[in-house]
Amino acid sequence: MNAVVLRGVAVAAGLAAIGYGVDGVLTHQQATRPPNTVVWLIGGVLVHDALLVPATMLVGFLLTRLVPPPYRSVAQGALLVSAAVALSSLPLWRGYGGDPGNPTVNPLPYGRNLALVLAVVWAGAAALMVSRAVRARRGIIQSGDAGAARRSADRRRTRSG
């Protein structure tokens, strides 16, 4: 499929979804309260631009200073996944939306579950970093060159033989 056609289909699908959402907000005004929706949307943009982007830039700057290059992309990925998981689960682990009279609304230990998910993310990141360190010690070059590992092994054989 042509990239231009695919892009056009994606744009059309996105515009259809936006149209459906706007229609729902405007059709069911009593339930959706459009002024509140506008405030929420503007607030999301402001929080993103005023807090999340500067925080991401600061963390990225610190990572370039503190984490060696072979591991930097892994740490960045783990941090971004951790932030996304934590922010998306914020209402649950803070207990928002719960009803003290109905214990089945938020019945799970969301804080503990978030900690478990983050532990799995960082264990995976640590395993990938260890794998990269072991490969670097063995002399396997971490580049996009497909023959780099073979040439590295050939050099080791000629030195030892």
Q: 64-119, pLDDT tens digit by residue?
A: 999 998 899 999 999 999 999 998 898 888 877 777 777 777 788 888 999 999 99
- Cα–Cα dist 20/12, whole Å: 12
Domain ranges of the chain: 1-32, 33-66, 71-97+105-161
Look up residue 84 and give its amino acid.
Answer: A
Residue 128 has what pLDDT?
A: 96
Dump pLDDT digits (tens) for 48-65. 899 989 998 999 899 999
- Cα–Cα dist 116/79, whole Å: 15
- Cα–Cα dist 88/82, whole Å: 10
Give the pLDDT mean for 39-52. 90
Are 120 and 113 in contact by the 8 Å Cβ rule? The answer is: no
Q: Dig out the tokens for 83 from the structure.
A: 């932030």
